[in-house]
């Protein structure tokens, strides 16, 4: 099973600023996924990050707002740009959905004030 280290665990940010969330996996994985979970809501897929190519964004999410990097097979970052209070959520990275299970990072609880 994969072990995923995600940081920061939580942050409180001022509106208009940006936050970069990091996700480090202890093994090489082809695809990494970034999710958002707004209060009381389900996990919503933001984008799929492939190594060596641009991320694939889901409907309603754009690269300018959520730029993603995937420099190698064990690491990815998600940036939440120009934040507003509506961006207050839990952000989760995960790897390898489907073969047996999806492994999740510990999550980042973001509060925008």
Partner 1 sequence: EDKVVQSPLSLVVHEGDTVTLNCSYEVTNFRSLLWYKQEKKAPTFLFMLTSSGIEKKSGRLSSILDKKELFSILNITATQTGDSAVYLCAVEADRGSTLGRLYFGRGTQLTVWP
What residue ranges bind partner 1 (CB under 8 A)?
30-31, 33, 35, 40-45, 48, 90, 92, 96-109
Q: Which is nearer to partner 1, 33 or 66 (CB)?
A: 33
For the bound state, the minimum distance from the C-beta of residue 58 to partner 1, rounded and expressed in Å, comes to 9
Q: Which is nearer to partner 1, 13 or 45 (CB)?
A: 45
Other CB atoms within 10 Å distance of the CB of residue 41:
10
For the bound state, the minimum distance from the C-beta of residue 20 to partner 1, rounded and expressed in Å, comes to 18
Gap between the Cα atoms of 9 and 36, Å rounded: 14
Per-position DSSP letters for 50-81, written without gaps between them: ETTSPPEEPTT--TTTS-EEEEETTEEEEEE-
For the bound state, the minimum distance from the C-beta of residue 85 to partner 1, rounded and expressed in Å, comes to 19
Q: Which is nearer to partner 1, 81 or 106 (CB)?
A: 106
- The answer for residues whose C-beta is within 8 angstroms of residue 41's C-beta and 6 or more apart is none
Gap between the Cα atoms of 8 and 60, Å rounded: 25
Q: Which is nearer to partner 1, 54 or 82 (CB)?
A: 54
For the bound state, the minimum distance from the C-beta of residue 104 to partner 1, rounded and expressed in Å, comes to 5
């Amino acid at each position: 099973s994969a072990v995923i280290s995600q940081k920061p665990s939580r942050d409180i940010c001022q509106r208009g600023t940006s936050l970069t969330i990091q996700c480090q996996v202890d093994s090489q994985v082809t695809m990494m996924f970034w999710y958002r979970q707004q209060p009381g809501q389900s996990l919503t897929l933001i984008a799929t990050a492939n190594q060596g190519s641009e991320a694939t964004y889901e409907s309603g999410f754009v690269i300018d707002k959520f730029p993603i990097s995937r420099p190698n097979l064990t690491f990815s970052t998600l940036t939440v740009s120009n934040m507003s209070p509506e961006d207050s959520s839990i952000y989760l990275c995960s790897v390898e959905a489907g073969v047996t299970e999806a492994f999740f990072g510990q999550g980042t609880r973001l509060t925008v004030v």
